[in-house]
Structure 1
Amino acid sequence: MKSKLIGFAAVVGVSLGLAGAAHADQLADIKAKGKITAATEMHYAPFDLLVDGKYEGICHDLFTEVAKELGVEVEFLDLPWQSILPGLEAGKFDFVNAPVTITAERMKRYNFTLPIGNATVALAKKAGDDSISKPEDIAGKAVGSQKGSAQLEQLKAFSATLNPPADVREYVNIDEALADLAAGRIQAVANSMPLMGYAAVQRPGLFEMVMPPFGTPKYFGWVGTGGEDSKTLIAAINDAILKMHEDGRLKAINEKWLGTSPDLPTTMPDVK
């Protein structure tokens, strides 16, 4: 299967052709074209990352398998996180294969797939920082997270319970937050547990996980447009995800990137 990678600048060129493509039988439309166009932000390792200009990660590997099950090619778009959900609503692409935290508020607006990852919030600190041994130790400290993310909102809520609250700082992407952590400009970064664990495993002399995670358990899913538009597509993708649960592909892809496989539900979680 052929996967194409195009940058943000090229989105303008394809958006006019894709605008308004979503309709009640989106799956049939995609199969007729022989291609599904999926958008993500390729700076969210281990789910999405660029390595020497090549798109890799959990979501790349999983969605490539999904496209095989659908019998279509996949074209991946690299966009800033803040533009992805608005772009989906504007019809600039077919689907969002970014790991989007499943929340009750978002479920009112979009159709989600079954969970593809664990989104529970955890902290990373600079290796050797003994001033932080548990989440509550970020009281009064500068902590970064990604602007527009559900993890940022959970960090803010947790910070409000501390005395004094943490100094919460917002970043365009998580790489920038980790760079500031490495440079000592902030004392911790909050994001999903797999993301923080991956950072610690990849750079063990620089970052360490702070356990346990905080907040209620959350999950990542992929996203289609709301209403009836993407229901046939979501159902077909869910069938592919369940097939990968059963045949071991989902487990193998997670172990490749995380060294372990999270226990993911095979039905939609109850979100509040």
Structure 2
Amino acid sequence: MTPICKTLAAAALIAVAGAAPALADDLAKIKSEGVMHALTTGNDRPNVMMDASGKPVGYEVDMCNLIADKLGVKLDLGVLAWEGLLPSITSGRTQMICSGVNITPARQEVFDFSVPYSRTAIVAMVPETNTDVSGPTDIAGKIVGAPIGADGDDVVREIGGYKELKVYPGVAEQFADFVAGRIEVAIVGDKQAAEFMKSRPGIAKIVGKPYKVNLVGYPLPKGSTEMKAALDKIISDARSDGTLNAMAKTSFNLDDYDAALPPIGEDAPLKK
């Protein structure tokens, strides 16, 4: 993202944060009501997806269920498009986002974040027969597809040089266009790419090294000291006793998933 785009993105987040009073420290309210209200996209396979009955499932849902269970409350999980998730925190519409929010400099200015509980590696996926794309930065003159957000179209715009950029609300739509040949390069998370290649063997491959690896945490209104402390303890305990890695193994078939995260109990580094 260019410096101007970064400034605009930060300004947009700050404007959203100021549009309505943020409800900091919802912990007491959650416990008194016995319910934790949360939202997810349901459209970020394999992090979160909709099952045959229309119910969100996956690692993100498993983590939110764990948090609700440890808090001794029920999880009320709704579905909303990605672009509405962060505003739902600042407006008080919801208390948690179960959709893998990357910890970015602009977001750190607006939100408090829990300690990281997940991560996202951004890679380039191309057709199996492709021989002229060597990695995520090698997209000059190409038709590129990416999901909306900091790990999708923002990355592509930052790299630049592409012929055309197609932006999607989620990976399902992105992969449909990939299969149809409407995009030449898919910029996407490594977990999503691996899941797709497993389900459609022989048609795609990942090329080069990841463009970047982002840490993922739960965004909270600024000043949410008690809620952050509660989330940090639950996440840290889940890492210490192996629960987090076990859930990641089930969802992603990856071993030692938390190895790329900061030491247990430590926040993501402040970025500038």
- The answer for the alignment partner of 2:180 in structure 1 is 183
The amino acid of 2:252's aligned partner reads L
Post-superposition shift, 1:147?
2.1
* Matched residue count: 246
Counterpart of 2:190 in structure 1 is 193
CA positional deviation for 1:252: 0.5
Q: Secondary structure in 1 aligned to 2:206?
A: strand
Aligned equivalents of 2:191 and 2:267: distance in 1? 20
How far does residue 219 in structure 1 lie from its aligned partner after superposition? Answer: 1.2
Q: Using a 3 Å threshold, how does the CA distance of structure 1 residues 188 and 155 change in structure 2: closer, same or farther? A: same
Counterpart in the other structure of 2:93: 92
Deviating 4+ runs (over 6 angstroms): none
Letter in 2 for 1:238: D
Q: Give me the CA root mean square deviation.
A: 1.9
Q: Deviations over 1:201-252 (max 9, x none)?
A: 332233322231113x311112222x21x33112101100000001111001
* TM-score of the two chains, using structure 2 as the length reference: 0.84
The answer to whether 1:219 aligns with 2:179 is no
Structure 2 counterparts to residues 51-70 of structure 1, below 5 A: 51-52=51-52, 53-70=54-71
Cα deviation per residue 1:38-93 (whole Å; 9 max; x = unaligned)?
11100001111001112211101111111111111101111000111112222111
Amino acid of the structure 1 residue aligned with 2:69: K
Q: Secondary structure at the match of 1:119?
A: strand
What SS class does the counterpart of residue 138 from structure 2 fall into?
helix
Indicate conservation of the 8 Å contact 1:152/1:191, yes or no: no
Q: Which runs of 5+ in 2 are unaligned?
A: 1-19
CA distance in 1: counterparts of 2:107 and 2:151, whole angstroms: 10
Distance apart, 1:116 and its partner CA: 2.0
Aligned to 1:268: 267
The Cα of 1:168 is off from its aligned counterpart by 2.1
1:205 equivalent in structure 2 = 202
Gap regions ≥5 residues in structure 1: 1-19
Deviation at 1:166, TM superposition (A): 4.7
Q: Is contact 2:67-2:231 (8 Å) kept?
A: yes
Q: 2:162 aligns with which of 160, 165, 168?
A: 165
Q: Distance in 2 between matches of 1:153 and 1:256?
A: 30
SS in 2 for 1:39: strand
Corresponding letter in the other structure for 1:220: V
Deviation at 1:24, TM superposition (A): 4.5
**Counterpart in 1 of 2:44?**
44
Q: Distance in 2 between matches of 1:23 and 1:62?
A: 22
TM-score, length-scaled by structure 1: 0.84
Matched-pair contact (CA < 8 Å) for 1:49–1:57: yes
Contact 2:23-2:92 at 8 Å conserved across structures: no
Which residue matches 1:33? 33
Identical-pair percentage: 26
Q: Corresponding residue for 1:252?
A: 246
Aligned AA (1:46): P
Q: What letter is aligned with 1:42?
A: G
- How far residue 186 of structure 1 moved from its aligned partner, in angstroms, is 0.3
Specify whether residues 237 and 129 from structure 1 end up closer, same or farther in structure 2 by C-alpha distance, changes over 3 A only: same
Structure 1's 132 and 25: CA in aligned 2 closer, same or farther, altered over 3 A? closer
The offset of 1:97, in angstroms, is: 1.9
Matched residue SS, 1:120 = strand
